Structure 1
């Protein structure tokens, strides 16, 4: 069997808010959930499992999502409509912009838990 990515747990301050944010932004369906996890399933079957940890502070992580141009346009429109602060670069020095790196487009922003999220239309390799 070839290697593929199956799931990741994304620590959330509010798992319902985080799951809804990703479902709406990436146009993904909810998935069956269990235990402490609220799941969202990506088109390739990968599960994003949102859980609330028993800690006050959430350590920022980075998650990048490769999307097609049409979804990028729709998601970027939603970010702007909702007033989500965003940047063209991971250093957050170019606010309110997208980038055209690697022959595609990209944008960086934070999700409701404060994680650094990237949408890109072309892979780096």
Structure 2
């Protein structure tokens, strides 16, 4: 079997809030309880397993490849909620999206400051 990413643990201050934030914005099914985790499944079989942490949260980056239609829907929800968003991971282009490699991308933060991103084409895939 080729190596595949199966899951990653996302530390957060409140797993219910963080998992719901992601599922609502991305239009995913509700998270499912598995032991101490709230598990959010994405289409390619990878899950983000939310775990409430008792200490400071180290910010991470999570990028999601989506279709053009999904981008429109998700970006619409970001704007409807009035969430700050940026065209770049360094948050230097506020209120904008990028058009790298002939696709579209946008970054925003979750409740714990994790840097979330949606893109319609993988970076480096050309235009």
TM-score range, shorter chain: over 0.9
Verify: 1:52 aligned to 2:52, yes or no. yes
Q: Distance in 2 between matches of 1:4 and 1:103?
A: 27
- 1:23 maps to which residue? 23
* Residue 31 of structure 1, CA deviation: 4.8
The match for 1:77 is: 76
Gaps of 5+ in 1: none
- TM superposition score normalised by structure 2: 0.92
Cα offset for 1:54? Answer: 1.9
Question: Is 1:99 matched with 2:111?
Answer: no
Aligned to 1:108: 107
Once the two structures are superposed, residues 22-79 of structure 1 have per-residue CA deviations (whole angstroms, 9 ceiling, x without a partner) of 1111121135422210111111121110011121x21111111111111110000000
Gaps of 5+ in 2: none
Aligned-pair Cα RMSD in Å = 1.1
Q: CA deviation at 1:97?
A: 0.5
Moved over 4 A (4+): none
| Structure with the bigger percentage of strand | 2
* Match in the other structure for 1:6: 6
Q: Structure 2: how far apart are the matches of 1:31 and 1:95?
A: 30
Q: CA 1:31–1:70 in 2, change beyond 3 Å: closer, same or farther?
A: same
